[in-house]
């Protein structure tokens, strides 16, 4: 029984390593897309505690770092809104504001963001 247990543990660890690497590679593939959104002046406004903002960020994974993001929560009072976000009339988060001044609120699919900005999403085909 000990031998079977060891084999199961090794298989589980190998599966976890494979899954982690696959996820990291997939998320890194969105970096050029996120950079394009930044170049097109698409800006996401959010609050660190917002569940929907977290969901939006997770769609990009590590590539989120390449986006223009404005934090609307005040550090000492997370329910308060920064002056900039008040000036931009951010009423709900996440809110995306685009170069043409248009805006959308709520979690946006990557496809919707691509359509709005003209940025290309990476192919869904496996990369070599």
State pLDDT tens for residues 25-61.
555 789 999 999 999 999 999 999 999 999 999 999 9
pTM over 0.85: no
**For residue 66, what are the contacts with CB-CB under 8 A and spacing of at least 6?**
31, 34, 35, 38
Provide the mean pLDDT of the chain. Answer: 89
Characterise 41 by phi-psi region: left (phi > 0), alpha (psi -120 to 50), beta (else): left
**Which token pair is 82?**
């920064």
DSSP 64: G
């Amino acid at each position: 029984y000990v031998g079977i247990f060891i084999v199961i543990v090794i298989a589980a660890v190998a599966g976890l390593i494979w899954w982690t690497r696959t996820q990291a590679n997939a998320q890194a593939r969105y970096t050029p897309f996120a950079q394009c959104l930044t170049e097109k002046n698409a800006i996401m406004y959010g609050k660190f505690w917002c569940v929907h903002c977290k969901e939006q960020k997770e769609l990009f994974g590590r590539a989120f770092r390449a986006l223009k993001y404005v934090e609307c929560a005040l550090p000492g009072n997370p329910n308060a809104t920064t002056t900039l976000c008040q000036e931009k009339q951010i009423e709900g988060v996440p809110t995306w504001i685009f170069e043409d001044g248009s805006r959308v609120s709520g979690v946006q699919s990557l496809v919707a963001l691509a359509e709005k900005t003209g940025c290309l999403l990476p192919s869904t085909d496996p990369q070599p």
